């Protein structure tokens, strides 16, 4: 995994404090798409468990996987005791096994279901290896099971303020965005990973759903949120501190935030089982 992908552990507590959680509407969107009760789920790159606790609250038996030990330790502080946790990257997971990392929770490790009714990733799929990504997901899903990927940027709602922040940040960082992994233009009707799912032989019924969300943050909380973004985490500490000082000088006391969530949903095609990951 890239250095950016594994940069979050140093700021796990800030990640938990300043990253927005997920609304109940997201579970409704997944459940409606599934069209049948979802009883088991595997989460890819669970972070501090913001999505984990959402799905677990709705009666789904979640196995949360996360490669960063500090992030996983923070997750375990916040999720229900029945959530199973596994320290493993997505590429290490095996159907019916713990995937080469430490496990904790009901039954120990991943255990239990050989495949899952739902496999999902919350703002984490772009960190996974594209080589063999979809056969690997398919192998973890029961036939007809659902895959979901969701997330979205936390952006300033005021365009003028957003431009002022970009100007303040420019001496230290050109952009804090993560470009589309497959190069899909931002104005394309279907965004990644829906574009890849549409091309995959393992999935069908690909859908893209937008959940609009508006929040308010204090200036300090907004800076706290920026402190959890990988582009800033990769800066040398002195430059990162200078960037935050420059941004803080142009922030008002409170800021309006556009935090829309884009969900991509797809169904595992019926037919022969996917090849097991090697």
Note the pLDDT tens digit of each residue in 15-34.
Answer: 999 999 999 999 999 999 99
Give the model's pLDDT for residue 277. 57
Distance CA 7, CA 237 (A): 13
Buried b (16+ CB within 10 A) or exposed e, 1-33: eeeebbbbbebbebbbebbeebeeebbebbbeb
Cα distances (angstroms) measured from residue 69 to each of 62, 128, 179, 216? 18, 17, 26, 31
Peptide bond preceding 193 in cis form (omega within 30 of 0):
yes
- Is 167 in contact with 271 (CB distance < 8 Å)? no
Low-confidence ranges of the chain (pLDDT < 70): 1-9, 96-113, 271-278
- 68-103 residue pLDDT tens: 999 999 999 999 999 999 999 999 998 866 455 556
Give the model's pLDDT for residue 182. 95
Give the model's pLDDT for residue 27. 98
Residue-level length of the chain? 278
Taking the C-alpha atoms of 33, 34, 35 and 38 in order, what is their torsion angle to the nearest 10 degrees? -140
Question: pTM, whole model, 2 decimals?
Answer: 0.90
């Amino acid at each position: 995994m890239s250095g950016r992908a594994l940069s979050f552990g140093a700021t796990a507590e800030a990640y938990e404090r300043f990253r927005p959680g997920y609304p109940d509407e997201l579970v409704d969107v997944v459940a409606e798409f599934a069209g049948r009760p979802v009883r088991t789920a595997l989460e890819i790159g669970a972070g501090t468990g913001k999505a984990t606790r959402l799905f677990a609250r709705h009666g789904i038996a979640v196995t949360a996987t996360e490669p960063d030990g500090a992030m996983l330790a923070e997750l375990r502080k916040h999720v229900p005791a029945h959530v199973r946790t596994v320290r493993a990257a997505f590429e290490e997971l095996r159907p019916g096994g713990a995937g080469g990392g430490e496990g904790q929770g009901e039954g120990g490790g991943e255990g239990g279901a050989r495949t899952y009714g739902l496999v999902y990733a919350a703002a984490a799929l772009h960190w996974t290896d594209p080589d063999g990504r979809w056969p690997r997901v398919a192998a973890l899903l029961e036939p007809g099971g659902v895959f979901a990927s969701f997330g979205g940027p936390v952006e300033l709602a005021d365009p003028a303020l957003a431009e002022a922040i970009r100007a303040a940040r420019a001496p230290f960082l050109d952009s804090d965005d993560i470009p589309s992994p497959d190069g899909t233009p931002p104005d394309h009707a279907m965004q990644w990973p829906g574009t890849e799912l549409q091309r995959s032989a393992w999935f069908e019924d690909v859908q893209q759903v937008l959940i609009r969300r508006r929040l308010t943050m204090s200036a300090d909380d907004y800076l706290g949120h920026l402190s959890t973004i990988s582009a800033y985490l990769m800066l040398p500490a002195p430059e990162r501190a200078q960037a935050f000082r420059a941004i803080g000088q142009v922030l008002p006391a409170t800021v309006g935030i556009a935090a829309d969530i884009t969900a991509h949903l797809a169904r595992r095609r019926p037919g022969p089982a996917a090849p097991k990951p090697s």
